[in-house]
A and B are shown apart, each in its own frame.
Chain A
Amino acid sequence: DGGITQSPKYLFRKEGQNVTLSCEQNLNHDAMYWYRQDPGQGLRLIYYSQIVNDFQKGDIAEGYSVSREKKESFPLTVTSAQKNPTAFYLCASSIWGRGANVLTFGAGSRLTVL
């Protein structure tokens, strides 16, 4: 079945460590996105990518980095510069073009900083 796979589902990190969250899609979607969700809140956009080797900052990019070397993959690195990294991280993808845009989401990765 086509979809988005995020890993790991749960991750614990010590302060000062960088961690990388994986996101892979087999939907042949051009665009991919990373969102952050804090408890009881909506989703906030971290980064997005419309095409391979190109990505743009979202609303809360500070302390995060991404790469898009393959169409299928869009990993997110949470760096030690991110002051409050404990959150639920969601990856999504979509087609890129005219008309309505429907996002397909992964199951999420929950990061806890100890």
Chain B
Amino acid sequence: DAKTTQPPSMDCAEGRAANLPCNHSTISGNEYVYWYRQIHSQGPQYIIHGLKNNETNEMASLIITEDRKSSTLILPHATLRDTAVYYCIVRVGNNNAGNMLTFGGGTRLMVKP
């Protein structure tokens, strides 16, 4: 699986857009990019995923570069409740060994008033 690199921590002002980068320079053509977040002492929560195209849902937008070697998760109007650890993961779909997602260290996002 492609390894991901994320900054360990970021700050964002409340109400502003939070842009969380992820580098996955060794990603292969059939690997999806997933984003999850984990609020302190809770289970991770799925946010969004994509393969090649940019994606948007009610929580966030995912921008994937044309070469697919990096991506950015955008929270358009961050609130204090968005303070969490954000995990960027890449993984193939339909893997016979199990669709196991590997969660690394992630980015600790602190939204400040």
A contact set with B: CB distance below 8 Å:
4, 31, 33, 35, 41-43, 45, 48, 50, 56, 58, 88, 90, 92, 94, 96-108, 110
Task: State the majority secondary structure of interface residues on B.
Answer: loop
Number of A-B contacts (CB under 8 A): 63
B60 contacts A by Cβ under 8 Å: no
A99–B98 CB distance below 8 A: no
A45–B102 CB distance below 8 A: yes
B32–A42 CB distance below 8 A: no
A48–B98 CB distance below 8 A: yes
Instruction: Kindly identify, within residues 67 to 113 of chain B, every residue whose CB is under 8 Å from any CB belonging to chain A.
Output: 87, 91, 93-94, 97-106
A35–B103 CB distance below 8 A: yes
Which of chain A's residues have a CB closer than 8 A to the CB of B44? 43, 90, 103, 105
Q: A97-B94, A102-B49, A108-B43 are in contact. Are A42 and B99 (CB under 8 A)?
A: no
